[in-house]
Amino acid sequence: MKIGVIGGGAIGLLFSYYLSEIHSVCLYVHSEEQLEIIKEKGILLEKEGQMKSKSIPVKIFSEWHGEEDVTLIALKQYHLPGMISRFSSYSSKKHAFLFLQNGMGHLKYFDKMDGEIYIGTVEHGAMKLDGNHVIHTGLGVTKIAAFRETTVKFHHFIKKIQDESFPFVVEDDYEQMLIQKLVVNAIINPLTAILQIKNGELIHNPYYFELVKRMFTEIRESLNLQNDDKYFKHIMAVCEQTAQNDSSMLRDLKENRPTEIDAILGYILERAAEKEISTPVLEVFYQAVKGKECRVEDNTTCQKLYLQ
């Protein structure tokens, strides 16, 4: 199977490496610098102290024309608005897309695209060290569900892509799958980003754990979660499994990159506003992360927002 992977971040590098073990994979990146280092040295995967490298085809994103059977979109949520028109231009009923974003903001773009659309949530731990170097910090699964599909083609895709060393799990309901990941991200990411702590401290420090409980209460009401005990236990399990990890949002702020706060907490705050639900704790952490982002972005932009 021919697979395109768009995005040279940690997830793009991780998927490109593992999927190229069986399939024909081409990675599409945005910078010439990253293109050259991958062409020269391949993708370097570090796992449990061992290093492996693999050479794969790599191109600049502008060279993507939808020629592969499936294209994995491994971009951050905030990059999608500028990319959707290109995906739409080259999408067809023969093509399939697998979106691997946090949050739920990307769902609104899909009516502009033809072809099959699948949605995935990634539970692997991955950290990018260099343009071609990714650390697989924790083995997990990729959950995948169909948003718009032909049943036969979707199951054929799952059968072809399945691999014991890099497993995929099929979910029946894409919305419930995304909400489960959203709830985890909405608590772990902003809390660790602002408190500047490892994930495990959220449940091992009683004062931080109190914040976890208060945020969860507001999220539960905003999203009208059923079986909330299951969701809370899942948050606890993820904190334990990734106890020594920095969250992606904390890494984004440390490395002076924008975060996905709008796609995560922003989405929940919109749902809360529709129901006129009070969310003081969520709003505090949303504003705090946005304030941190102002140090990342051009200061003039922040000043303009303040004056509006």
* CA 210, chain centre distance (Å): 26
Catalytic residue among 54, 108, 181, 198: 181
- Is 181 annotated in the active site? yes
Residue pair 1/72 in contact by the 8 Å Cβ criterion: no
261: burial class by Cβ within 10 Å (0-12, 13-18, 19+)?
buried
Q: Which residues are catalytic?
A: 181
